[in-house]
Amino acid sequence: MWLFVYGTLMDPEKAEKIFKRRPKANIAFLPGYEVVFNKEGMGLGNPNIKPGKGVWGVVYEVDDRDLQKLDRISPKYERKLVKVLIDGRECEAWVYVAKPEFVNDSLKPDRSCIERMIKGAKFHGLPKEYVSWLESLLKSIR
The SS3 assignment for 126 reads coil
Model pTM score: 0.94
Encode the chain (142 residues) as per-residue pLDDT tens digits.
999 999 999 999 999 999 999 999 999 999 999 999 999 887 678 888 888 999 999 999 999 999 999 999 999 999 999 999 999 999 999 999 999 999 999 988 999 999 999 999 999 999 999 999 999 999 998 6
> DSSP character for 13?
H
Separation between Cα atoms, residue 46 and residue 57, nearest integer Å: 16
Sequential DSSP letters for 15-82:
HHHHHSS---EEEEEEEEEEEEEEEEETTEEEEEEEEEEEEEEEEEE--HHHHHHHHHH-TTEEEEEE
